[in-house]
Amino acid sequence: MPDFLYQWPLWIVMTLMITGLVGFAQVSLRVVRRLFLPGLGFGEHQGHFGAAMIHSMMVFYGLVAALIAVNVYETYSDVGRTVSREVAAISALYRDTNSYPEPARSQIQSAIRDYVQQIITEAWPQQRRGQTPSGGGALVDRIQAALVAFEPASEGQKLAHAETLRACNEMLIARRLRVDANRERLPALMWRVLIAGALLCLFAACFFNVERLGLHALAVGLLGTLMAMVLFLIFAWDRPYVGEFGIDSEAYQLVYDQLMHR
């Protein structure tokens, strides 16, 4: 899907999807009933065969769309868990440094606070726009440098330092996963197949031999609405950080306010 659609309110995108598919279905219905149905001569057996074929198409498309929707939501949920993982690692790292002597404690905690602030004020707005965050690396290097420079003076400090390094490594892994998740999206080819499949199923539904036009129009309109709603769900979850359904930075802000704010 085009990136600019994710900057629009979701109700507008959903309205456009429903209008587009229902409009296509209604136009196709008029064209098929006027140009194709009279010449096809649907008898009883032909009608049963056509209904079975159209039903098979819709079932197959429904399965494909459902599998894609589930996969997209699982990816969205995984990214949310990655964000929670990074927040938890940052919180643990910050708390672990409370046992450090001065001036190492202040240096490391200051670097962690700056890193969290960078995520909230710079990295997240970039992610919301669909961009991969370009900063943060220097701040991570600063945290690592401060930790490496610390020399434990006792066995207790050595154990605490080892645990702090473990939390730092966990934060680095989670950060890498969070940044890489900015590239998560359905390929353009898959979107083309989804949209083309929906249009093909709606067009095929127009070949049912229904005597009353109003009833037939209502049926294909409802089918088009249902397909648009499924495509909308895939659209809303497709970009984990972008759009109104995008994962926000509230967890980072909460940790900063409750643990680091002074």
Give the DSSP H or E segment for 246.
none
Tokens of 64: 């494909």
* Amino acid letter, 81: R
Mean pLDDT by 10 residues, the chain (262 residues): 82 93 92 74 53 78 90 92 93 89 88 92 89 84 87 82 90 91 88 92 84 86 93 92 88 89 65
- What's the farthest any 2 CA atoms get from each other in the chain? 93
Cβ contacts of 22 within 8 Å, gap of 6 or more:
221, 224, 225, 228
Quick one: pLDDT at residue 90?
A: 93
Quick one: pLDDT at residue 42?
A: 54
The whole-angstrom separation of Cα 98 and Cα 168 is: 14
Quick one: pLDDT at residue 78?
A: 93
Dihedral sign, Cα of residue 106, residue 110, residue 111, residue 113: positive
Quick one: pLDDT at residue 50?
A: 57
Quick one: pLDDT at residue 34?
A: 82
